[in-house]
Structure formats: structure tokens, C-alpha cells
Copies of this chain bind each other. A is one copy, B any other.
Amino acid sequence: MGSYSDLNTPERILLGPGPSMVPPQVLRAMAHPVMGHLDPQFLTVMNEVQDLLRYVFQTKNPLTLPISGTGSAAMEACIANFIEPGDRILIGVNGYFGERLCDMASRYGAVVQRLDKPWGEAFDPQEIEDALRKQPAKILALVHAETSTGALTPVDGMAEIAHKHGALLLVDCVTSLGGIPLKIDEWDIDIAYSCSQKCLSCPPGLGPLTVGARAREALHKRKTKVPNFYLDLSMIERYWGEEHAYHHTAPISMNFALREALRLVQDEGLENRYKRHQQNANSLWKGLEDIGLKMFVPLQHRLPTLTVVTIPEGVDEADVRKRLLNEYNIEIASGFGMLKGKVWRIGLMGYSSRQENIDLLVSALARILAK
């Protein structure tokens, strides 16, 4: 085996579905000297991270913390802790992450009821209510912002329907938290999870989640042990709570980064941040339309944080992405699953959501597509 030299990586303009670009303050926070995970000063950092997460989730839920893994780990924590073998879960599937929820839930022994819809469309309250009326479930799971399609399913009002039929509402907020309005308490969402690397602009590696009183009670009433040690919330909440009972060693540096990223969200203010994401999305959509491109999702359900663009006839989509990366240092993403080869996915999330990035991308795309 060879001998390696220092890390030498380029600085990219990250306009894919995540990770988004990370502000220099967050990179600097991550480079702070590491401390022990039970050091009183680190316990303060943990409390601050939880307090700031409650701010971005707009909740008072005590059980609000980052899982020590990526968004996929937080997603699995939300399934593993609330499903017992034989429990019914109704999952809205209108993209890849709905599919993934079905896969995960079935691994934990759930009876999965799929509610399918073409990729790119959104669910409305009526069809959810109809499905629950036909067959009640313990959990109703919806993807707020589908990262695979760019479609937004409004979740305000869904909790009322879920609760009426005795279900808990679980929401995937991976591509919405910190970028578009999401009000856990006001909308009465029981369980929600997200990731660090999208609209929060922290590097990937942590998975924020929040659990409300109703769901917490269900967790404490489980008849069986959670069949997953690492993601067992009854242990994790004791580690993050007053007791600080050892469960694993928190990723210290990643928590430094998350604290700083969340602090920057608080500095900007959530409302300002939502406005910035929406305004920059409008600007991107206009820019792309001006050079003849079409958006995949109708305006009504289109996510501002992740724009999915239909690839024009006769264009080699992979070549365009390759040229963007190699000639302009810009990353955008391909479609996947049933949208593979049909769309590009362009993220404007967190620190990446800036007018200068839009201008760079649109002019680069115009030049590449003209040839």
C-alpha cells in the first residue's frame, strides 16, 4: 500500500440534495479541541444543542435531541422505537423516502399499509382520512419534503386526522427543517426527524429528532424491548437527560458543529430564513425557465429547498453534471429510483441558498446546454 499525503480536497459549490455548504464558523467550531463526553462543559453543549433544536423544530418537547448517526439513523430510530411486531403503520409513498419507511417498518415487524401516489405528487388530507377510516393504524407516516421528487406534502392539519383515528403522526422533515415552515407543537406532530446536512448547513453525521408527549407515553408503554440498542430512545433520553447515563460516546466535534449551525439559524431567525429560502427558490425557478428548462413539480406543491428539473430531450444528463463539476466546481444531483435519467435535483439549502450561487449555476447551465 502507498503512503498518503495531506488531505487535498476542492471547495465545491454544493447545489445538490445535501450536504449543503457549511459556513466557515461551523467548520471552525468543528475544529475545536475535543473534550470528554461527560465533561461538565460538554454537558452544557448538549443542553444548548437540545435547546436550539427545540427552537428550529418550534417545540417544547423535552425529548428533542440529535441521534449520533445520519438522518437515516434518525429515521430508523423513529420506526424502531414506536413499532412493535404486528403494529399497523400507514405510510404515504410518493417518492423514495416513503419506500424506505416501508422497508424499515417491515424490518421491525410492522404490518405496512402503503398509500401510493405517483412520484412528484403530494397527499391531501382527504385521501389520508379515507385510508385511515378504511383501516386504522398505530402510526401515520408522511414525508413532508420528498428529497427524491421535490414535492411538498402539507402536514398542517394531518395530526387532527391521525389522532381522530387513534394514530400517531410521524413526519420526515429531512429536507424541510430550517428551510420551510415546520411547527411541531402548533401542528401537533407526534414524532419528527431530520438530518444535519441540509437546511441546517452542518456537515452530515447527526440526525435531529423530536418526540411529543403522546408518542413518549407510547414509547414508555412498549411491551417488548426495542430491538435496536444503538437507537433505543429510552436509553438515549437518559444519556441526553439530567442523569447523563452512559449509552455511547456522543460525536463531540459534530455536536460542536451542530451547536454553531443552529446558533446561526437562531441569529438569522426562522422567519427570515424561510423567506430567504423561498425568495432564492423563486429566483432559481425564473432563471431556469428563462433558459428553457421546466420544473418537474407544479408550483402548488413545489419545494423551495430542493428543485427538481425535467431534463430536456436529447441532453446527456450525466455529461452536464460532469461538466458542471469539472469546469465550474458546481455539484447538482441526478434523479434516482424511477426518476433516474429523467430529472436533475438542485438544492438551495441553508448556506447554499444564496443569489450568487443561483447566478453561477444558471449561467453555467446556459453555456453548457447551448453547445
Give me the interface of A with B, judged by CB distance under 8 Å: 1, 3-4, 6-7, 9-12, 14, 16, 18-19, 21-22, 25, 27-42, 45, 48, 51-52, 54-55, 68-73, 76, 100, 103-104, 107-108, 195, 197, 203-205, 225-231, 246-254, 256-257, 259-260, 263, 266-267, 325, 331, 333, 336
Contact = CB atoms under 8 A, between A and B. Distances in A.
Nearest to A336: B246
Given A205-B253, A251-B70, A34 B14 contact: yes
Nearest to A21: B34
Contacts of A249: 18-19, 70-72, 195, 197, 204
Q: A interface, by DSSP: helix, strand, loop or mixed?
A: loop
Nearest to A22: B34
A1 B45 contact: no
A12 B36 contact: yes
A45 B246 CA distance: 32
A104 B230 CA distance: 9
Nearest first, the 7 closest Cβ-Cβ pairs linking A and B are A205-B251, A72-B248, A31-B31, A203-B253, A69-B69, A27-B31, A11-B33
Contacts of A252: 19, 197, 203-205
A30 B107 contact: no
A263 B39 contact: no
Contact of A9 (B19, B32, B100, B227): B32
A51 to B, nearest CB: 6
Contacts of A108: 227
21 contacts: A1-B51, A1-B54, A1-B55, A4-B259, A6-B29, A7-B260, A9-B41, A10-B35, A28-B31, A30-B31, A30-B253, A31-B31, A69-B230, A70-B251, A72-B230, A73-B230, A107-B229, A204-B251, A204-B252, A228-B228, A254-B254
B4 A16 contact: no
Contact of A254 (B32, B205, B226, B256): B205
Contacts of A229: 72, 76, 100, 103-104, 107
Contacts of A69: 68-69, 73, 230
A34 B204 CA distance: 9
Contact of A39 (B33, B253, B331): B331
A205 B257 CA distance: 13
Contact of A41 (B10, B73, B195, B226): B10
A254 B251 contact: yes
A36 B19 CA distance: 6
